[in-house]
Every structure is written in C-alpha cells, then in structure tokens.
Amino acid sequence: MTRESGPKMLLFYIVLAGVFSLLAALSAFIITYGEYLKHYPDKKRPLKIALNMALATFAFFMILTILMTGLMSLF
C-alpha cells in the first residue's frame, strides 16, 4: 500500500464500518424491540431497551472494525 492510498483506504474502511454497523444496529433494534414488546404492557420500556441495544451494537461493530483496520495496516 502506498502512502497516497493509505488515507483513502482508511476512509473507505470507516465508511464501510459505518454502513454495516448501522445495519447491525437496526437488526438488533428490531429483534430486541420485538422480543421485549412481548414482556412489557407499555411500549416505552421496550423502546428504551431496544435503543440502548442498538447503540451498543453500533458502537461494538464500529470500534471492532476500526481496531481491525489498524491491525491490518501493520501487515
């Protein structure tokens, strides 16, 4: 990898991580909301739990991808 392509590839990986992390977060939200909706009579508590799960999933996959990108750039 040349010096010029390094920042371009890093930006590409970050954008790619953002897209797939967003998809993972959306999936986690839909699954969590659907499951917790069965256990709570009101819709406010399952919504809060599902949003927390979606945020945690987004952060996890975004951080994991950035760390793996950094690790791959060493080789």
Which structural domain, as residue segments, surrounds residue 47? 16-68
> Per-residue pLDDT for 73 more than 80?
no
- 2 lies in a domain? no
Whether residue 10 lies inside any domain: the answer is no
- Going by pLDDT thresholds of 50, 70 and 90, the confidence category of residue 56 is very high
1-37 pLDDT, tens per residue? 445 566 787 788 888 889 999 999 999 999 999 999 9
Assigned domain for 46 exists: yes
Backbone angles phi, psi at 2, to 5 degrees: -85, 165
pLDDT-derived band at 74, boundaries 50, 70, 90: confident
Contact 53, 59 (CB under 8 A): no
Counted domains in the chain:
1
What is the distance between the alpha carbons of residues 53 and 41, in angstroms, rounded to a whole number? 20
- Report the Cα–Cα distance between both ends of the chain, in Å, rounded: 10
Nearest CA-CA partner of 22 in 55, 63, 69: 55
User: pTM for the complete prediction?
Assistant: 0.80
